[in-house]
């Protein structure tokens, strides 16, 4: 519970000033929405499986066996991924083909491409 230390008077700060710019709210919302869709191991595996297929698109007939899930479970997870903009659906004949959306993956990846050197900023 060391966080309790920071509940004291705001006048009793260790040093002055804040550190940088805040991510715009709309962008934070978008990244959080993508991450929420990927907050499940089955969906993580589905996205990876689609992305590493020969050309980024897989016919749904393969997915239940490949992932070890039922068709209703596949539909549930694909809906979450689609709603978050992570996959597109394309019906070809009687089958649905799923593709990853590179633009959405890139947005999340760009967010995670942050400076990573350790150190102390303010004191």
Per CB under 8 A, contacts with a copy of itself among 59-88 are: 59-67, 71-72, 74-75, 78-79
Query: Shortest distance, CB of residue 61 to a copy of itself, whole angstroms?
Result: 4
Residues 28 to 47: which contact a copy of itself by CB under 8 A?
28-29, 31-32, 35-36, 38-45, 47
| Angle at alpha carbon of residue 29, lines to 28 and 30, rounded to 5° | 90
4/113 Cα distance (integer angstroms): 31
Query: Shortest distance, CB of residue 69 to a copy of itself, whole angstroms?
Result: 11
Residues 94 to 113: which contact a copy of itself by CB under 8 A?
94-97, 99-100, 102, 105-106, 108-109, 111-113
- Within 8 A by CB and 6+ apart from 33, the residues are 84, 85
Joined together, the tokens standing for residue 24 give 């715009």
Joined together, the tokens standing for residue 7 give 């509940």
């Amino acid at each position: 519970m060391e966080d309790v230390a920071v509940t004291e008077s705001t006048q009793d700060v260790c040093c002055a000033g804040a550190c940088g710019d805040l991510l715009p709210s709309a962008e934070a919302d978008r990244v959080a929405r993508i991450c929420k869709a990927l907050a499940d191991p089955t969906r993580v595996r589905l996205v990876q499986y689609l992305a590493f297929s020969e050309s980024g698109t897989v016919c749904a007939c393969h997915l239940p066996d490949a992932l070890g899930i039922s068709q209703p479970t596949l539909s549930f997870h694909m809906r979450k991924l689609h709603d978050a903009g992570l996959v597109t659906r394309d019906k070809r004949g009687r089958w649905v083909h799923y593709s990853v959306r590179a633009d959405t993956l890139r947005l999340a990846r760009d967010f995670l491409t942050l400076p990573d050197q350790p150190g102390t900023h303010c004191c």
